[in-house]
Amino acid sequence: MNLSAEAIDRIVANVLNQFSTSKTSQIASPAPNGNSSSGSKLPAANPQKSVAPKANPSLNEVQISDSVITAETLQRIPEGTPVIVKPRAIITPAAVDIVRQAKLQIERRLESPTAASTQTNSKKETSSENSISTLGAAIVRHSLALDSALEELKLKSRELVSCPDDAAKHAISEISRNGVDTMLVFAEQQHRAACLANRNKRVKAVVVRDASDVQQIRKQLRANVWCLDPTDRSYYELKNVLKMITESGRSHS
């Protein structure tokens, strides 16, 4: 028997609801002596509800925390919007059709580092974030490690572009209209992006690979566009480079 994509969506939703109800009922079931194990009755289970997508206007993206993404969840999202989901979120067949039709950009984003680590470095991170008043990013080459590293920066703008030429144009636009003080460009063809961006007299674009490159560059000029290839780079590598770039902005402020 062949099932439609909509039917599969309904089956998945029903299974989740039954699982949630069954699990809560087991917790609230009475102990052998007739009383519940906690000594009081627990409220009846509520069917699992889908969490409404949360839009982030500053980044032009939508974040969905559901473990299962259905067509109903995606159908009202504007065409071409980046949609952030959990790394292990399940996307139903009907939802996949919506993604294709609306040209949605699905990103599976890792969670930030552990809370303990974040709390330990909170003062350092805050100092780094505030070192540059406004920071933007143009992303051609995307990775989960890069997503995690960028989460720790307060980006005023974040644009997903298709090629280094578009990244250079976006960087020039943001710098020229004073939209941001500093632009980060992430692309495999980082040298091309830097060369094209430098055609504008207000732009000083440079290519960097690691923190030592940043140290050398900031001794010689005030760069405002930093181009980096994130391919095969770990979260910690990217974090160190970005931290050094933001600190360089503080040293020249």
Quick one: tokens of 71? Answer: 């067509």
pLDDT at 90: 87
Mean pLDDT value of segment 81-104: 88
Phi, psi at 13, each rounded to 5°: -65, -40
Q: What are the boundaries of each domain within the chain?
A: 1-7+49-109, 115-252
> DSSP code of 114?
P
Distant-in-sequence, close-in-space partners of 55: CB < 8 Å, separation ≥ 6 = 61, 62, 63
- Residue 115 pLDDT greater than 90, yes or no: no
**Rounded-to-integer distance, Cα 58 and Cα 155, Å:** 8
pLDDT at 195: 96
- State which of 44-48, 116-120, 145-149 shows the largest mean pLDDT: 145-149
pLDDT at 151: 87
pLDDT at 207: 96
Q: What CATH number matches the domain at 115-252, 3.40.1400.10, 3.40.50.620, 3.40.50.2020, 1.10.10.10?
A: 3.40.1400.10
Phi, psi at 172, each rounded to 5°: -60, -45
**Rounded-to-integer distance, Cα 34 and Cα 50, Å:** 35
The mean pLDDT of the chain is: 77
Would you put residue 182 in left (φ > 0), alpha (ψ -120 to 50) or beta?
A: beta
- Residue 251 pLDDT greater than 60, yes or no: no
- Radius of gyration of the chain from its Cα atoms, rounded to whole angstroms: 23
- Residue 73 pLDDT greater than 50, yes or no: yes
Q: What tens digit of pLDDT does each residue of 162-211 get? A: 999 999 999 999 999 888 889 999 999 999 999 999 999 999 999 999 98
Residue 226 pLDDT class (50, 70, 90 cuts): very high
